[in-house]
Structure 1
Amino acid sequence: MLNRRHIRVKVMQSIYAFSGSASDDLSKPQKFLLFSIDNMYNLYLLLLSLLIEVQKRAETDLQKKQNKHLATQEDKNPNRKFVNNELLHLLRGNKQLQEQLEAHKINNWQLDDEYVDVIFKAVIASDLYATYMQSRTSNFKEDKEFIIDIFKDVIAPNDKLYDYIEDKHLTWLDDLPTVNTTILKLLRKVKPAVSEGYFTPRLYKDLDDKQFAVDLFRKTILNTSKLNKEIEQRTKNWDADRIANIDFVLLQMAICELKEFPSIPVKVTINEYLEIAKEYSTPKSSIFINGILDKLVKEYQEANTLNKVGRGLL
């Protein structure tokens, strides 16, 4: 679920926050780093549970119409295609998912049910819904394709949902693209019969990824003076005040990764930080960072100080 680039972004944010702190204690910022990563899983559960709650809301809506004093024939005999959507029932009946929702105390939609109503109304007002509801019967494939399209085109881009997520946890905005992608991948691959753990994937691919987050954070912070000298020696013609703070942090991390992580290929390190710079810093940042790192790597190679293990890592 979590990729190395997202881990680097989390570390970048934590180092950036720490650089403005007067404390030398790494325990609290490290704890926050791991919390912000773990909290990404809560966002994943929150969005999956929203699909379930929207289906429940549709069910309640039909029941209310049937119980109206002057119910129409359509009210009495409604089209239950959305309510009976097989993929939504698969989600709703997944015991392990329900256990995770309870364990992580994901009860937002019970407390803020007006947002469920907002999404439900957006769904039924969409052209996708109108097309889907033209018939009363379906199969798993059609049900799945409908939910994928609704999530991608109606739920994920919803402005009110976006604002809600931003208000709940600031770090969730950076997590949202990764979480949405994860959900869509799972929905696209889901089959009528899946294991109980299908909808509860591991946050980290393996323990090495979690250790990578901690090591990158600690080694960058603990070697700040050395890393800054490396940067200053190669930016003598630059006014220090003109270098964006994010660029400085990204350079610190990249140099640390080049020198302290022998199993990570040089090209991977450079490409990762250039992509992060494009997304989180100024339009020219990636060019600036690429120039500095390219110069550094050539110097390290000439001095034979790049400690890389394995073929193709240079």
Structure 2
Amino acid sequence: MLSRRHIRIKVMQVLYAFRGTESDDFSKDQRFLLNSIDNMYNLYLLMLSLMIEVQKRAENHLEKTSQKHLATAEEKNPNRKFVNNQVLDMLKNNEQLQAKFEENHINNWDLDSEYVDVIFKEILASDIYKEYLETDTTTFNTDRNFIVDVFKEIIAPNEKLYDYLEDKHLTWLDDLPTVNTTILKLLRKVKKDASAFHFLPKLYKDLEDKEFAIKLFKKTLLNQTALTAEVTKKTTNWDSDRIASIDLMLLKMGICEIQSFPSIPTKVTINEYLEISKEYSTPKSSVFINGILDKLTKEYQTEGKLNKIGRGLM
């Protein structure tokens, strides 16, 4: 679920907030980094649990309307397609997933049920919902396509939900696109006979990714003086105050990665930090960062300092 780029963003955020020196005790900030990454999984679980709660809300709605004193024939015998949606049932009845909810204390919607109502009402008012109820047959594919559309068009872009998540955890705003993309991929790929673990992806692709996060954080922090000196060498015509703080941090991380991660191609490193700068810094930052990292890479290569393993890694 977690990409290397998102790991780099997490490291950048903690380093930027920390702004410590090589002599500082950074164990607390390393824990904060890992907790921030781990908390991304809670967001993933929270978004999945929201869909389950919306289904429960729909069932409760049908039950209440059917018991009205002057209920219409349609209200007494309502269309139960949404309530009986096979994908939502799969989520609701997944014991491993429910255990994860309990283990990670995912119970937000018990206290903040108004957001469940917001999503439910938007679904009821949507053309997606009306077209779904009008379909003649109910198949697993029909149910799956409906849930994919609901998540993509109603849940993921919901502004009230966005504001709620921002209030709960500031870092969730950066995590949300990755989480939503993961959920959409899993929804699109789910099959009727899917494993119970289909909706329980790993946070890290492998152990190397977690080690990458820790090493990049430590190496950048512990070598800040030397990394800053490398940047200064290539910006002699720049007033240090003119270099955006985010750009300086991204440059130090990029140089650290070029120097300390022999298995990562330099082109990959430079491209990753260019893309991050486009999202988090100024419009001209990517050009500036590309120029500095490119010059340093060529210099290291000429001097024999570019220690890369494997072909095509220069």
Question: 2-side partners of 1:61 and 1:141: how far apart?
Answer: 25
Aligned residue in 1 for 2:304: 304
Q: CA deviation at 1:23?
A: 8.0
Q: Structure 1: state its 5+ residue gaps.
A: none
In the alignment, residue 36 of structure 1 is paired with which amino acid? S
Cα distance in 1 for partners of 2:75, 2:125 equals: 18
1:264 aligned residue: 264
Q: Distance in 2 between matches of 1:90 and 1:14?
A: 37
What residue in structure 1 maps to residue 139 of structure 2?
A: 139
Distance 1:117 1:105, change over 3 A: same
Give the match for residue 249 of structure 1. 249
Deviation at 1:112, TM superposition (A): 0.6
Indicate if the aligned counterparts of 1:81 and 1:133 stay in contact, CA closer than 8 A.
yes
1:232 maps to which residue? 232
* Residue 135 of structure 1: how far off its partner (Å): 3.5
Does residue 178 (structure 1) correspond to residue 178 (structure 2)? The answer is yes
How far, CA to CA, are the matches of 2:21 and 2:59 in structure 1? 51
| One-letter amino acid matched to 1:303 | E
Give SS of 2:214's match. Answer: helix
Q: Distance in 1 between matches of 2:82 and 2:143?
A: 8
> Does structure 2 retain, via aligned residues, the 8 Å contact 1:42–1:104?
yes
Partner of 2:289: 289
| Structure 1 letter corresponding to 2:249 | V
Partner of 2:39: 39
Cα deviation code 1:44-80 (max 9, x no counterpart): 0000000000000000000000111111101101011
In structure 2, distance between residues paired with 1:160 and 1:20: 36
Instruction: Output the TM-score relative to the length of structure 1.
Output: 0.98
Which aligned pairs between 1:269-284 and structure 2 lie closer than 5 A?
A: 269-284=269-284
Partner of 1:157: 157
Superposed, 1:58-207 pairs within 5 Å as 58-135=58-135, 137-207=137-207
Residues in 1 aligned to 2:20 and 2:225: alpha-carbon distance in whole angstroms: 15
Q: Tell me which amino acid in the other structure corresponds to 1:98.
A: Q
Partners of 1:244 and 1:127 in 2: how far apart? 46
Q: Count the aligned residue pairs.
A: 314
Moved over 4 A (4+): 20-23
Deviation at residue 196 of structure 1 after TM alignment:
1.5
Q: Kindly indicate whether residue 210 of structure 2 is the aligned counterpart of residue 210 of structure 1.
A: yes
Q: Secondary structure at the match of 1:277?
A: helix
Residue 195 (structure 1) shift: 1.1
Q: 1:20 to 1:167 in 2, by over 3 A?
A: farther
Q: Return closer, same or farther for 1:234/1:36 CA change in 2, 3 Å cut-off.
A: same
Aligned partners of 2:192 and 2:164: how far apart in 1? 32
Measured in 1, the distance between the counterparts of 2:26 and 2:304 equals 32
SS for the counterpart of 1:258 is helix
Q: Any unmatched runs of 5+ in structure 2?
A: none
Superposition deviation, residue 24 in structure 1: 1.0
Structure 2: distance between partners of 1:21 and 1:208: 26
* Equivalent-residue separation in structure 2 for 1:272 and 1:266 (angstroms): 10
* TM-score between both structures, scaled by the size of structure 2: 0.98
With over 3 angstroms needed to count, the CA separation of the structure-2 counterparts of 1:191 and 1:124, relative to structure 1, is same
Contact 2:21 2:222 in 1 (8 A): no
Tell me if structure 1 keeps the 8 A contact 2:21–2:224.
no
Name whichever of 74-83 and 16-25 sits farther off: 16-25
RMSD across aligned positions (CA): 1.2
CA contact (8 A) 1:81 1:136 kept: no
In 2, distance between residues paired with 1:109 and 1:119? 12
| 1:166, distance to aligned residue in structure 2 (A) | 0.3
Question: Within 1, Cα distance between the matches of 2:225 and 2:27?
Answer: 20
Question: What is the CA deviation profile of residues 182-214 of structure 1, one whole-angstrom value per residue up to 9, with x for unaligned ones?
Answer: 000000100001111111111001111001000
Check conservation: 2:258, 2:269, Cα contact below 8 A.
yes
> Which amino acid is 1:124 matched to?
L
* The 10-residue stretch of structure 1 (97-106 or 14-23) with the greater mean CA deviation from structure 2: 14-23
Q: Encode CA deviations 1:82-111: one digit per residue, 9 max, x unaligned.
A: 111111111111111001001000000111
- Following superposition, the deviation at residue 25 of structure 1 comes to 1.2
Q: What is the percentage of aligned positions where both structures have the same residue?
A: 68
